[in-house]
Amino acid sequence: MANVKLYDTSILSYCSNFLDPFAKLLGLDGVILIAFILGFPANEIVIPIIIMAYLSQGSLTDFVSISELSNLFISNGWSWITVICTIIFSLFHWPCSTTLLTIKKETGSIKWTMIAAILPTIIGMIFCFMFNCIAKIFI
């Protein structure tokens, strides 16, 4: 998605810009939310997707220091609220595809598989929204 461009803008940018208004309600941004969606096959690729999207590259970059990574996030609008909401959503979002396939196999039920995906996601969205609203009262 980062390498395919329409009118000099990547498809990843179009998708993240589309999700941005909703993501802002959760204390995130469109890039973070699209990274979670694209990270469905394996949750450990969420942060690398965020980095690639912010750098507008289709490949990973090696950072020499943590301060370079910090500067990248700050230059893309991250605040302490964004960090905490990203952590909250990371803890309470849908399981990876392998986990959902295992749930389907073990329970034999698509209903329980959907509940396992939807319930934590809704809880995560509610917690992010609540934290974002409460935190913005105090800043």
| Token pair recorded at residue 86 | 């990203």
Instruction: Pull the structure tokens for residue 27.
Output: 């204390």
Structure-block tokens of residue 34: 């699209």
pLDDT (0 to 100) of residue 58: 62
Strand partners, 5: 10
Rounded to 10°, the helix 46-55/30-38 angle is 130
Per residue of the chain (139 residues), give pLDDT as tens.
Answer: 777 778 887 788 889 999 999 999 999 999 999 999 999 998 888 998 899 888 876 666 777 788 988 999 999 999 999 999 999 999 999 999 999 999 999 999 999 999 999 999 999 999 999 999 999 998 8
pLDDT of residue 59: 64
Helix (H, G, I), strand (E, B) or coil at 25: helix
For residue 96 the two structure tokens come to 């990876």
Q: pLDDT per residue over 54-63, tens digit each?
A: 887 666 677 7
